[in-house]
Amino acid sequence: MAPKTCLPPVFILKAGNSRIPIWPNPPCILESERPIFCPKELRSAILEKFRIHLHQHPNIPLNDEAGTHLTADEIHRGAVRDMYQFCFQHGLAQVWAYLWNRWYTPKQWPLWARSACDAIPRLKTTMVVESLWKHVKRRDLAQFNRPRLDLVTHIVITNVLPRVNRTLAYVRGIRRVGRAKALASWQVDFKADWLDMSRTDEHRLVMKELKLRKTPANTKGRAERLAEIAEEEQRQSGTYHTDLQQWTCSCPAYLISRFLLCKHLVQLANTALDNKPLTSLRFFFDLRRCHHPPYYSIPGIHKFTSDTDAEDDAVEILILGPKRVSEHMQYHPCKMQIA
């Protein structure tokens, strides 16, 4: 007869009508015996689906023969169905419970999905706001613990707003009058992507392969990346729905692009402008990004409204500061330069 195992006692905490079990000494479970939340080989597929669901938008056509435009509700239902079927086929009940409760439920979906809004924002995260509050807490309020509201208001007016005012003056080009203005950080990245996409496919693949072959032979993932480049060389070019006037394309690269760029749009724009963006720095200075199509206002491709028409849609901004109490400035959403 097998000996009886002595289990640690379980206490019941009673609070009103609810009873909560408390297990002070839970049994020791090895790491190998714990259930796996999500296998490693399925994580990349889930992340890829999540990234596609994040970037889908009613104004971006699908990669099909008709170039279908889905509505916001159709995108949501399709994303839920796609992720649910994947989790159901692989038996990922806990993964689906987490994804539904924290991401795909109708309450959480508008907080992160691009399709929940008519406009396409320039930012994908709240890192800019978090960075602002980090500087306020660690630079201006570092000496105070749980400061009063009047003190916080005073510090924001005297310390934070002057810095914001200087940033706006730099964006408007009136901070250093007479000096050559450098490209903003986003314009530098945009220019690098534009020049890279202007090259032919053969040139881009050769540059990628050369960069990888210069790395040491024991670099992690080097062989896999070289195999992907060799496979990409044999791949036939697809046919996509590219609209230069609306600045949209149905290719997968455009969907996940930070600047809504792809080689199809860039090469068409270079042809329409006689390759002016390849040699002119002014092209990237004058480029303006919009929230609605066309997502870029490019001289020579898109038609601009006159200044009198733009004044009807202008927005008034009130800038506060210690020296200049109020200053009125008007800008058009598609013409204001973005820092």
Tokens 């007479």 belong to: 178
- Is a pLDDT exceeding 60 seen at residue 332? no
pLDDT band at 309 (very low <50, low <70, confident <90, very high): very low
- pLDDT tens for each residue of 60-75: 999 888 889 999 999 9
CA terminus-to-terminus distance, the chain? 78
The answer for residues whose C-beta is within 8 angstroms of residue 39's C-beta and 6 or more apart is: 90
> What is the rounded CA–CA span in Å between residue 194 and residue 125?
23
pLDDT band at 30 (very low <50, low <70, confident <90, very high): confident
pLDDT band at 208 (very low <50, low <70, confident <90, very high): confident
Average pLDDT, the chain: 82
Q: Answer for the pair 239, 267: CB distance below 8 angstroms, yes or no.
A: no
* Amino acid in position 328: H
Token readout for 257 is: 């692009």
SS (H, E, C) the chain: CCCCCCCCCCEEEEECCEEEEECCCCCCCCHHHCCCCCCHHHHHHHHHHHHHHHHCCCCCCCCCCCCCCCCHHHHHHHHHHHHHHHHHHCCCHHHHHHHHHHHHCCCCHHHCCHHHCCCCCCCCCCHHHHHHHHHHHHHHCCCCCCCCHHHHHHHHHHHHHHHHHHHHHHHHCCCCCCCCCCCCHHHHHHHHHHHHHHCCHHHHHHHHHHHHHCCCCCCCCHHHHHHHHHHHHHCCCCCCCEECCCCEECCHHHHCCCCCCCHHHHHHHHHHCCCHHHCCCHHHHCCEECCCCCCEECCCCCCCCCHHHHHHCCEEEEECCCCCCCEEEEECCCCCCCC
β-bridge partners, 37:
none
- Is a pLDDT exceeding 70 seen at residue 169? yes
Name which of 175, 94, 142 is nearest 339 in CA terms: 175
pLDDT band at 183 (very low <50, low <70, confident <90, very high): confident
pLDDT band at 27 (very low <50, low <70, confident <90, very high): low
How wide is the angle at C-alpha 79 spanned by C-alphas 78 and 82, nearest 5°? 85
Q: What is the CA radius of gyration of the chain?
A: 27
SS (H, E, C) 26-57: CCCCCHHHCCCCCCHHHHHHHHHHHHHHHHCC
What confidence score (pLDDT) does residue 26 get? Answer: 62
Q: What is the pTM of this model?
A: 0.72
What confidence score (pLDDT) does residue 22 get? Answer: 67
Q: Answer for the pair 251, 264: CB distance below 8 angstroms, yes or no.
A: yes
Domain ranges of the chain: 33-116, 127-173+310-331, 185-233+241-304
> What is the rounded CA–CA span in Å between residue 293 and residue 270?
19
Name which of 231, 229, 249, 247 is nearest 239 in CA terms: 249
Q: Answer for the pair 183, 280: CB distance below 8 angstroms, yes or no.
A: no
Window from 24-33, 152-161, 276-285 with minimum mean pLDDT: 24-33
Residues of the chain with pLDDT > 70, as a percent, come to 82
Q: pLDDT higher for 50 or 326?
A: 50
